[in-house]
C-alpha cells in the first residue's frame, strides 16, 4: 500500500473455497513451556506426513515456526490444567465449548480443566478459516487425535515411573491407574517438573461416539457469565494504552475514484492524523467524532460511473453470463431429450435470488498496534491466517512479524472472511505510531462489506406417470454452486453454473449458494407435485434413495403432522429440504396469509436435522432454531437495494431483519447418528425454510412465488 495504487481491498472468495496455500518452515527449537509453564506438550502430525520429528524446548514459541504437518497441539500443566489450541474462531456457533468437550472426552479429564486457545496466529495451528461447516468434521478429529496421543504419552510416563509395561495401564478421570497394583498417578503429578514435548503422528481410532462421556452432553457455553455481565471484550471493546480512533473516508459510490483532493484544513486540526494513500483516505484522532470531523473537512472530488440498479439485476445476470470461465461448471448424465420424452408432466420454472447482507450485530472492527516493526491486530474475522497473510503482503512485512488475534466475535454468518477493517486500522496505526481502532458503522457494514450473490436459476423437469423424475436440467446464473446437484434420483440430468462478472462485492453467506439452489429446487419440486396432484412429501420420498435424507423428511413430517387439514382461512402448509456439507435437513412450515393485507405470518416450523453424532445437543438445537429465524429474513423480506453504486437501504430502518414479532413456534427434531462422524450445523439447517414458506404460501393462496425474498410487501391474491 504505497502511493503506487496497489490494490488495497482484498476481494473475498466469491463462491466456494479452494484449499489455502500451505507454507513450510524449518522446525525451530522453540520453547513451548516458557509460554505455558512446565508440563507435557503433545503435537500431532497429519497421518499422511512423514516420520516423527523432534520438538524440543527452546525460547519463544511461535506457531508459524512449526512445520505445517503439525496440525494440533495441547499442553498439560503441572496443575493438571489442559490447554488445547485451535485456529478456529468463536462467532456464536459455540465452537469453544464443543471443542473443549471433545478434548476433555478423549483425554479423560473433567470438562472444566480444559481451556481452548482459539484463533491467534502466534499460538494456534494454521487454519484455513472457520468456514464451510468444517470445524466439526476436521477440527474435532484432529483434537481427538492429539488428545488420544497425549493420553498414550501420559500412560507411558506412568509406566516408566512404575517400571511396568504400559499395556496394562488405564487412563481415566484425569489419572493413570495400574489395575494390577491399584496405584494411580494424577495427570498433574505426571506433568510435574517435566518439560516433555513429543511430536507424534496422529493415530486412529479415537473413542466411539457410543462411548463418549463428556461429548454428546448439553454443556453450557464456556465463559457465558462474561457475556451476561458485559465483561467480555469483543474487538471494538479493546482499549490498549494510547488508543486512537480511526475513520475511513468512503467513496460516494462503488468504483468511484478521487480526481481532486485537499486535506490542508483537516491536517491542521489538533491531534488528528490524516492518511491519503492511493484511494484510501482515513483519519485517526482521540475520538471517532474528531476523526470524522477531520474527514468532513477534506475537500475531495470523485469520478463516478453509472451502474445498474436492483431492478435490472436479474436481466443483467442472464445477459452477461460468462461463456467461458474456469468457475463455470457443467455436468451431464443421460439424455435430457430422452428424459423429457418419457415424461407425463413437464415443467419449466425461473427463480430469482436477491442480494442480501449478513448484518452481523457486531460490525467489522479491528485494533492495530505496531511495536518495533511488529504488528498485532485484533479483529473479528473468520480467517485469521488469511488476514495475517493479507497484512504481511500489503504492508511488506514478513508473516512472522504479524500476529492476528480474534476475540470471540459478535457473529459473522460467512460475512467476515475479509481483512478490510484490519488493513484500515493498520494503515492508520502505522501513520499514527499508536494503536488505532477502526469500527465500521452500520451503514458502512451494509455498504462496504460484501453480499450474498444475487442469482437467476432456471429449471426444466419431467416426471413419469408414476411420479418418478425422468429429466432434470438446472442452470444457476451467478449465485454459486453449493448444493447445485439434486439429491433426488434422476437418470437424465444436466446441471450448469454460469458465473457473471459484476462489480459489487459478493461472497460467502451462511450456506453459500445452497440457500438459493435448495430454494429453487424445492419450489420446483413442489410445483411439479401439485401439478401432478401428488402429495409434495410423497413425491419427494418417491424420488429419494438416500436413507438419511428420507429419515429427516419422515421425522419432520411425523412431528409436524404432515399432511395436515386446514382449520382456518389463509392457512397453508409447506416443506422443503436437502443435503449439504454432510448435514441433512427437512423443514416444515405452517403459515397464515392475511387476506386483506397480504401479510404472511409464519406460525409454526419443524426443522429436522441430522449431522452424524451430536456433540452438544443444546448447542445444536440453538443453531438449528437460529438458522430458521435467520433464514426467514432472506426467505420473506430481506433484499439489498442499490442504484448507481449506492446501497439505498443501508440501515436497519429500511433493511428488515427478523425481529421478535416475526418468530414462530419452532421445533428442532435432532437425529443423533452415533455411527456417523459429526458434521457441521452452522449452515445446512437454514436451507429448508425458504422453500417451506414459499410452498406454504402456495398452499394457502394458490400464488406461486419463485423469487427470494418471497413477499417483502405481502402476497397479492
Partner 1 sequence: MPIELEVNGKRYPVHYDPDTPLLFVLRDELGLTGSKYGCGEGQCGACTVLIGGAPRRSCQIPVSAAAAKPITTIEGLEKDGRLHPVQQAFLDAGAFQCAYCTPGMIMSSVGLLQSNANPSSAEIVQFLQGNVCRCGTHARIIDAIHQAAKVMEEHGR
Contacts with partner 1, residue ranges (CB under 8 A): 91-94, 220-221, 224-225, 227-234, 236-237, 239, 245, 287-289, 359-363, 408-411, 413, 439, 441-442, 618, 622-623, 625-630, 651-653, 657-661, 663, 666
Per the DSSP assignment, residues forming a β-bridge with 177 are 170, 184
| Nearest CA among 452, 496, 549, 582 for reference residue 15 | 452
* Of 447, 446, 427, 448, nearest in space to 438 by CA: 427
Nearest to 502 by CA among 690, 707, 325, 258: 325
Nearest-angstrom CA–CA distance, 146 and 37? 19
Shortest separation between residue 492's beta carbon and partner 1, angstroms: 40
- Single out the residue of 118, 139, 23, 26 nearest to residue 72, CA to CA: 139
Q: Give the DSSP per-residue string, 509-557.
A: -TTTTHHHHHHHHHHHHHHHHHHTT--HHHHHHHTB--HHHHHHHHHHH
State the nearest-atom distance from the C-beta of 406 to partner 1, in Å.
13
CA distances from 2 to 114, 462, 503 (A): 45, 58, 24
- Report, in Å, the least distance between residue 681 CB and partner 1: 12
Nearer to partner 1, 123 or 629 (CB): 629
CB of 49 to partner 1, least distance (A): 35
Cα 381 to chain centroid distance, Å, stands at 10
Of the two residues 125 and 576, which places its CB atom closer to partner 1 in the complex? 576
d(CA 606, CA 589): 7
Return the number of the residue (91 or 669) whose C-beta is nearest partner 1.
Answer: 91
CB of 92 to partner 1, least distance (A): 3
Strands of 556-611 (E only): list them: 571-580, 583-593, 600-610
Residue 226 or 257 having the CB closest to partner 1: 226
The nearer residue to partner 1, 125 or 414, going by C-beta atoms, is: 414
Residues 6+ apart with CB under 8 A from 569: 595
Nearer to partner 1, 445 or 473 (CB): 445
C-alpha to C-alpha distances, 614 to 152, 156, 237, 331, 490, nearest whole angstrom: 26, 32, 34, 34, 31
Residue 661: CB minimum distance to partner 1, A: 6
Nearer to partner 1, 264 or 361 (CB): 361
Q: What is the DSSP letter of 181?
A: T
**Nearest approach, Cβ of residue 240 and partner 1 (Å):** 12
**Nearest CB to partner 1, comparing residues 682 and 707:** 682
Distance from C-alpha of 475 to C-alpha of 494, rounded to nearest angstrom: 8
Report the residue number, 106 or 444, with the smaller CB distance to partner 1.
444
Cα–Cα distance measured from residue 606 to residue 108, given in angstroms and rounded to the nearest whole number? 36
Amino acid at each position: 500500500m504505497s502511493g503506487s495504487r496497489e490494490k488495497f481491498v482484498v476481494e473475498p472468495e466469491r463462491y466456494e473455497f479452494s484449499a489455502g496455500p500451505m507454507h513450510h518452515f524449518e522446525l525451530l527449537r522453540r520453547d513451548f513451556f516458557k509460554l505455558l509453564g512446565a508440563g507435557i506438550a503433545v503435537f500431532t502430525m497429519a497421518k499422511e506426513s512423514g516420520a516423527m520429528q523432534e520438538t524440543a524446548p527452546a525460547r519463544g514459541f511461535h506457531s508459524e515456526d512449526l512445520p505445517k504437518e503439525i496440525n494440533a497441539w495441547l499442553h498439560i500443566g503441572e496443575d493438571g490444567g489442559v490447554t488445547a489450541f485451535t485456529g478456529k474462531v468463536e462467532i456464536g456457533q459455540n465452537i469453544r465449548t464443543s471443542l473443549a468437550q471433545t478434548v476433555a472426552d478423549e483425554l479423560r479429564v473433567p470438562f472444566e480443566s480444559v481451556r481452548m486457545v482459539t484463533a491467534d496466529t502466534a499460538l494456534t495451528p494454521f487454519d484455513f478459516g472457520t468456514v464451510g461447516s468444517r470445524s466439526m468434521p476436521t477440527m474435532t478429529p484432529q483434537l481427538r487425535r492429539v488428545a488420544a496421543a497425549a493420553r498414550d504419552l501420559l500412560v507411558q510416563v506412568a509406566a516408566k515411573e512404575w517400571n511396568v509395561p504400559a499395556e496394562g495401564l488405564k487412563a481415566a478421570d484425569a489419572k493413570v491407574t495400574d489395575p494390577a497394583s491399584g496405584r494411580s498417578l494424577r495427570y498433574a503429578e505426571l506433568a510435574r517438573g517435566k518439560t516433555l514435548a513429543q511430536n507424534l503422528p496422529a493415530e486412529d481410532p479415537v473413542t466411539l461416539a457410543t462411548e463418549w462421556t463428556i461429548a454428546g452432553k448439553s454443556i453450557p457455553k464456556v465463559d457465558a457469565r462474561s457475556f451476561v455481565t458485559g465483561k467480555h471484550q469483543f474487538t471494538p471493546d479493546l482499549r490498549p494504552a494510547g488508543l486512537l480512533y480511526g475513520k475511513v473516508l468512503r467513496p460516494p459510490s462503488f468504483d468511484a475514484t478521487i480526481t481532486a483532493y485537499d486535506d490542508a484544513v483537516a491536517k491542521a486540526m489538533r491531534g488528528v492524523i490524516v492518511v491519503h494513500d492511493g484511494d484510501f483516505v482515513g483519519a485517526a484522532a482521540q475520538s471517532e467524532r474528531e476523526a470524522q470531523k477531520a474527514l468532513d473537512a477534506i475537500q475531495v472530488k470523485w469520478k463516478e460511473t453509472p451502474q445498474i440498479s436492483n431492478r435490472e439485476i436479474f436481466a443483467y445476470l442472464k445477459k452477461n453470463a460468462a461463456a467461458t470461465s474456469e468457475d463455470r461448471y457443467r455436468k451431464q448424465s443421460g439424455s435430457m431429450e430422452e428424459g423429457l420424452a418419457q415424461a407425463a408432466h413437464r415443467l419449466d420454472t425461473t427463480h430469482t435470488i436477491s442480494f442480501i447482507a449478513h448484518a452481523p450485530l457486531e460490525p467489522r472492527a479491528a485494533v492495530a498496534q505496531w511495536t518495533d516493526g511488529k504488528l498485532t491486530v485484533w479483529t473479528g474475522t473468520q480467517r485469521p491466517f488469511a488476514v495475517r497473510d493479507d497484512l504481511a503482503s500489503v504492508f511488506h512485512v514478513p508473516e512472522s512479524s504479524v500476529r492476528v488475534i480474534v476475540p470471540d466475535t459478535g457473529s459473522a454468518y460467512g460475512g467476515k472472511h475479509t481483512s478490510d477493517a484490519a488493513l484500515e486500522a493498520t494503515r492508520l496505526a502505522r501513520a499514527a505510531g499508536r494503536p488505532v481502532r477502526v469500527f465500521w458503522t452500520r451503514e458502512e457494514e451494509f455498504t462496504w462489506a460484501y453480499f450474498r450473490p444475487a442469482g437467476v436459476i432456471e429449471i426444466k423437469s419431467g416426471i413419469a406417470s408414476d411420479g418418478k423424475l425422468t429429466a432434470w436440467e438446472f442452470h444457476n446464473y451467478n449465485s454459486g454452486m453449493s448444493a447445485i446437484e439434486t439429491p433426488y434420483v434422476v437418470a437424465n440430468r444436466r446441471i450448469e453454473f454460469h458465473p457473471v462478472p459484476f462489480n459489487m462485492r459478493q461472497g460467502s453467506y451462511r450456506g453459500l449458494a445452497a440457500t438459493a439452489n435448495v430454494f429453487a429446487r424445492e419450489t420446483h419440486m413442489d410445483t411439479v407435485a401439485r401439478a401432478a396432484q401428488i402429495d409434495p412429501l410423497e413425491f419427494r420420498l418417491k424420488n429419494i434413495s438416500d436413507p438419511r435424507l428420507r429419515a429427516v423428511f419422515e421425522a419432520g413430517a411425523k412431528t409436524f403432522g404432515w399432511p395436515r387439514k386446514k382449520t382456518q382461512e389463509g392457512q397453508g402448509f409447506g416443506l422443503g429440504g436437502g443435503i449439504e456439507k454432510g448435514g441433512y435437513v427437512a423443514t416444515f412450515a405452517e403459515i397464515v396469509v392475511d387476506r386483506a393485507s397480504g401479510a404472511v405470518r409464519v406460525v409454526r416450523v419443524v426443522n429436522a436435522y441430522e449431522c452424524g453424532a451430536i456433540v452438544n445437543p443444546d448447542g445444536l438445537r440453538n443453531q438449528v432454531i437460529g438458522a430458521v429465524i435467520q433464514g426467514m429474513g432472506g426467505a420473506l423480506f430481506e433484499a439489498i437495494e442499490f442504484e448507481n453504486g449506492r446501497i439505498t437501504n443501508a440501515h436497519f430502518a429500511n433493511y428488515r431483519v427478523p425481529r421478535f414479532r416475526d418468530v414462530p413456534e419452532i421445533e428442532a427434531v435432532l437425529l443423533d447418528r452415533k455411527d456417523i462422524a459429526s458434521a457441521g450445523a452452522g449452515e445446512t439447517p437454514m436451507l429448508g425454510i425458504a422453500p417451506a414458506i414459499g410452498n406454504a404460501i402456495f398452499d394457502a393462496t394458490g400464488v406461486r412465488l419463485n423469487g427470494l425474498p418471497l413477499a417483502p410487501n405481502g402476497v397479492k391474491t
